[in-house]
Structure 1
């Protein structure tokens, strides 16, 4: 039995091998991968090949579709290690796992047969079109993109942005309003699979974000995009159920990857403190730096236990919503604060590309917005707790 704090058995051995691959092969390649040029593509392809050779590829994808079939709770432990590098999930084929699981659970046999094999093998990537610039992304019931069913064909018109990875994707799961305005707001939107080479599906631009230009976040316009009625993913009007099924596990995966990033930033902070001499002593001997170290360790450990508990609840079929809400906003803040302290200990060096910290800091700031901003998770979690104080995780 896997304990809440430590992976045991086969997963412990697999975790050791994953740690070696991430630390000794992926992390040393980060500078080349960050260049986002032809050499970066070649470096990533080489890492993917190595992951397959080492038996580390697509481990969390279902075995029935060619994945490693690692159980959910076991994969949570692996994701902590994969997250040590920003490029880890690309190197080991886990970046597409949420979409594989979404298709596996909600797709038709035809949809699964067409899209899952190339996703699991790494030949193509999926993307998701939910957020729109004209409406608040924190309230998905406001989705304005529309899809009309005419003679067995969906005709889609709309405007999306922050459609991550769509330029490299084979298809985009577009969330569009398919029901009348009078329909209940949580039963008005459907998920529709749109191949990215469909006429009318236009990638407008890569959106510059926090000094990252080009980024992997894109603006997309859909103008009279036509796809077969059979491209509906899940039930009509049940798009939010499909999305939530994807996001629940996805938020746990995010939170575990954040642990990997935070742990790496913590290690860099300790190394710097133990080697940097200033104002008469090592930084490690100064009380304020010791506070940074101790508080960071406490934040990381607390977040790890909270996240593993949320994963356990989900794996056991319990109501996990409060736990996931807590770890989403707590983890994003933890990640931001630990990396921020690590940068401060490095001083001017921490602001440069000579360490991974400046790229990690940008990712940490994104974390407080994507998959629901911190404010929304705090609000929704508080409402659930106020309705039933006995639902607190420690009860």
Structure 2
């Protein structure tokens, strides 16, 4: 059965989330603590407490860990509402990378790891990082992983360098991917490790300057210098990191799409208001066909993106892995929403490239969406291989 009806209870909660973000969170978009490297931890904590007061904090978490255990479709509806401001998901603790990390840890962390590393993130008291991407290759192709781990039966020692590690500054829960070498104790291969931030050997070299500023504490270059971890730091099974990464990435691609759909909607609403009131050559901008067609193209794109997201979420809720569909959704939605943001800048004209509205920030923050969690070209390559197989 095909049914696109949003249940009344979910629709009401969507409206409540949108109102919360519009009324309580949007004013913080002018806060000086929203820096060129993203929100500071102080700002994040203030936003988190606002969401906590409204009982909107980490609603996606499993019910056993205090969340609502949302379905993927329910997430799509509520995350879109949260994305009305890029600070909305930060406040509600459903922003990247924490949202994806919480999902992964809820699936593979053991009970002791859950209490020590996952629960404080779910409770909004600390942040997490996923340290995989490397300057010399590992990223879209994790098979080029160069960070190494050795194991003597009691302790692991990790050596290597990572970059574009989102939120590393100030994060407490670290998920690290390294290539475990041959040893007589455990299977070799790409492996995940879980640790605290205060371990000697975790060196944050610098925060990178990037065009986006919607992630808490920005993106960092990190070095693991003789990082010694106990056997208990092993996350899941040795040699299974690539499988676990896929477990994390498929839903994470979709949650990116959900949040950015809300931001694109916001940009469209600002462009529409401008087109209704700004005049040129004797009539409003919206009465000019060139502008009205851009608004129409945006409306079509937003609708197509929403349906694409919902369909993939529905498949996942039926128990499908939906890797093929999530790749299609990520590549299509990221490209289309960037076009939406670009057209909004064009409609706004001069103020579109200024900070007079939030549209220029959405445009800059949206551009990297075409890259993270897999560039469009990588997804299209995977899609093509599957179709031709």
Give the shorter-chain TM-score range: over 0.9
Q: Is the 8 A contact 1:209 1:215 kept in 2?
A: no
Mapped partners of 1:288, 1:188: distance in 2: 55
Instruction: Tell me if the contact between 1:33 and 1:44 (Cα under 8 Å) persists in the aligned partners.
Output: no
| Mapped contact 2:212–2:368 kept (Cα < 8 A) | no
Residue number in structure 2 paired with 1:67 = 67
The Cα offsets for residues 49-97 of structure 1, whole Å up to 9 and x where unpaired, read as: 2212221111001121122333332122111111111111111122323
Secondary structure in 2 aligned to 1:253?
helix
> Is contact 1:58-1:67 (8 Å) kept?
yes
Of residues 106, 109, 112 in structure 2, which corresponds to 1:107? Answer: 109
SS in 2 for 1:192: strand
Instruction: Classify 1:43/1:97 alpha carbon distance in 2 versus 1 (closer, same or farther; 3 Å).
Output: closer
CA contact (8 A) 1:4 1:305 kept: no
Aligned twin of 2:200: 199
Q: What residue in structure 2 maps to residue 152 of structure 1? A: 154
1:375 to 374, 377, 381: 377
1:342–1:350 CA contact under 8 A, matched in 2: yes
1:291 to 290, 293, 312: 293
Match of 1:318 in 2: 320
Which string of whole-angstrom CA distances, capped at 9 and with x for unpartnered residues, describes residues 95-134 of structure 1? 3232122111101111111112211111111101110011
Partner of 2:164, secondary structure, is: coil
Per-residue CA deviation, residues 131-180 of structure 1 (Å, 9 max, x unaligned), is: 00111522111010000112411100000001100112102211111145
8 Å CA contact 1:129, 1:172 repeated in 2: yes
2:40–2:217 CA contact under 8 A, matched in 1: no
Aligned residues: 382
| 2:198 match: secondary structure | coil
Q: Which structure 1 segments of 5+ residues have no match? A: 182-186, 388-395
Q: Is the 8 A contact 2:168 2:217 kept in 1?
A: no
**Is 2:21 the partner of 1:22?**
yes
User: Does the Cα contact within 8 Å between 1:174 and 1:192 map onto a contact in 2?
Assistant: yes
Q: Structure 2 vs 1, CA of residues 278 and 180 (structure 1 numbering), >3 Å: closer, same or farther? A: farther
> Using a 3 Å threshold, how does the CA distance of structure 1 residues 120 and 91 change in structure 2: closer, same or farther?
same
1:35 and 2:43 correspond: no
Q: Secondary structure at the match of 1:61?
A: coil
* Structure 2 residue aligned with 1:390: none
Give yes or no for contact 1:33–1:40 (8 Å, CA) kept in 2.
no
Q: Which moved more, 1:261-270 or 1:208-217?
A: 208-217
CA distance in 1, matches of 2:86, 2:239: 35
* Residue from 350, 353, 362 that aligns with 1:351: 353
CA contact (8 A) 2:131 2:162 kept: yes
Farther off after superposition, 272-281 or 123-132: 272-281
Report if the CA contact (8 A) 1:160-1:220 is conserved.
Answer: yes
Who is 1:173 aligned against? Answer: 175
Task: Report if aligned partners of 1:125, 1:169 keep a CA contact under 8 Å in 2.
Answer: yes
The one of the two structures with greater contact order (alpha-carbon pairs below 8 A, sep at least 6) is: 2
CA distance 1:215–1:123, shift in 2 (3 Å): closer
Change (3 A) 1:33 1:70: farther
CA distance in 2, matches of 1:269, 1:235: 50
The question of whether the paired residues in 1 share the 8 Å contact of 2:41 and 2:170 is answered with no
What TM-score comes out, normalization by structure 2 length? 0.93
Please state if 1:208 is matched with 2:209.
Answer: yes
CA offset at residue 15 of structure 1?
1.1
Query: 1:43 offset after TM fit, Å?
Result: 4.9
Deviation at residue 330 of structure 1 after TM alignment: 0.8
What's 2:11 paired with? 12
> Unaligned regions of 5+ residues in structure 2, if any?
none
CA contact (8 A) 1:32 1:40 kept: no
How far 1:20 sits from its partner (Å)? 0.7
Output the aligned Cα RMSD: 2.3
In the aligned structure 1, how far is the partner of 2:90 from the partner of 2:256? 14
* Residue equivalent to 1:241: 243
1:392 match: none
**In 1: Cα distance, 2:87 partner to 2:279 partner:** 33
Equivalent residues of 1:60, 1:72 under 8 A apart: no
